[in-house]
Amino acid sequence: MTDPSLHNPPDDEPATAAAASSADPEDDKHQQQPTPQDLLPTIPIGHPDLMMSKESVRRAVEEFQTRPSDVIVATFPKTGTTLVTWICHLLRTGAREDSEEIAAAAADGVESSSSSSSSIGGFETLYEVVPWPMLSYDIGIDPNVHGSEFTPRVFKSHLRMASIYPGCKYVVTIRDPARTAISFYNFFIAKRVPFLVVEEDALGDDGNDDIRLLMDVSTFLVETPFVRGSDHRASIWEYYAEYHALLDCPNVLMLVYEDFISNDEARRMNNIRLLGKFMGVVSDDDGSNDNNNHEAADDQYDELIARTASMSTKSYMARHMSKFDEPYERAKALNRAADLSQLTPGAKVALEYHTQTFDDRGTQFLDDRWKATMEPLGYVDYPSFCNAIEKRNQRLFG
């Protein structure tokens, strides 16, 4: 792993979480836009996730440097993080799957550029090309270096926006809190984390290892901090309230997870195109000076969006499941992570609909939390929040 202290950042990446950003003087537009740091009170990062070591968190806070062109996908967990970061990588690499062609070129001694390389090849785990700064040291990755061969650089984060690294662009996502909690619950079951799952020695009737669950999904929601939040960990509703405060912030793109898994293909494609425009890889030039070139460019962008949509379906991602998992063996070998159990392999892509339901206590908890946090902001329910974000994106980005 490259020592971050040896990394010489270019002029346009001065910002760290420990020091306020200083934008590129040539980027007037960037300087004039209100940022999350302008609109939200700053909350120190602290140590929000006990999975990471203190050293990994320290390095992320003190040594990770952003550039104005960077895109940080900053989400509440289980609201589409892997899907959106993967789509970002597809968009910036041309959504190419020509791995055989690249392998043949490499055998002939021909070096491929990132623009012509396979989007799915060249890395063992997505974290190598879309680093997660808070976890990077624990898995032997330098976020100042890994992924820098691509434009724009893209990063994963689960920090709330009041704590996010300054000085770049941000993509946030929302998802129905009930489905988020169910997804979180099943994610931990798949990972067989010990606070939730006890593995029995005997095999079940289906021949698989038998497991015993220590709590149901309602207990997980109400009594653990993962969705509910705690003194040191923001709840999903606190994340969403911060997004409300950023509705007029043009360097934050807000996406609705359900739009990306919709059966409405036009809605999916439109949201992928919106993300591509925000990243700067899909043009919104009106082409008034050269209609022929504009039409050709439109065709290219349409093809890129179509390829990206095809390569970001659940079935496609499930065929490459290991690419999207945490690098458990690498983390185990380095022995730096604070809680290795949360890095164990577990399907990031769910092909089957999770069927658990909440009991009365869980349903009431979800209703009370929404009414306490989101209803005072003008959202009677989750669909009304989705509608406000759709109108906001139309107003800011067209």
- pLDDT, average across residues 206-225: 85
Query: What pLDDT score was predicted for residue 21?
Result: 42
- pLDDT, average across residues 248-262: 96
Q: Is the pLDDT of residue 8 over 70?
A: no
Report yes or no: 278 and 397 within 8 Å, Cβ to Cβ. yes
Q: Which of 195-204, 245-254, 388-397 has the lowest mean pLDDT?
A: 195-204
Q: Is the pLDDT of residue 244 over 90?
A: yes
Token pair for 69: 């062109």
- pLDDT, average across residues 10-20: 51
**pLDDT confidence band for 315 (50 / 70 / 90):** very high
- CA distances, 131 to each of 86, 161, 221 (Å): 12, 18, 29
**pLDDT confidence band for 163 (50 / 70 / 90):** very high
Task: Supply the pTM of this predicted model.
Answer: 0.85
Q: Is the pLDDT of residue 100 over 80?
A: no
Torsion (CA) 184, 226, 158, 41 in degrees, nearest 10: 150
Q: Is the pLDDT of residue 5 over 60?
A: no
Query: What pLDDT score was predicted for residue 329?
Result: 92
Q: How many whole angstroms separate alpha carbon 20 and alpha carbon 165?
A: 9
In degrees, rounded to 5, the angle at the alpha carbon of residue 275 between the alpha carbons of residues 274 and 276 is: 90
Percent of the chain surpassing pLDDT 90: 65
Q: How many whole angstroms separate alpha carbon 332 and alpha carbon 325?
A: 14
Query: What pLDDT score was predicted for residue 122?
Result: 82
Query: What pLDDT score was predicted for residue 32?
Result: 73
- The 10s digit of each residue's pLDDT in 82-99 is 999 999 999 999 998 854
**pLDDT confidence band for 117 (50 / 70 / 90):** low
Q: Which residue has the higher pLDDT, 351 or 55?
A: 55
Token pair for 42: 């700053």
Percent of the chain surpassing pLDDT 70: 80
Q: Is the pLDDT of residue 112 over 60?
A: no
Q: Is the pLDDT of residue 186 over 70?
A: yes
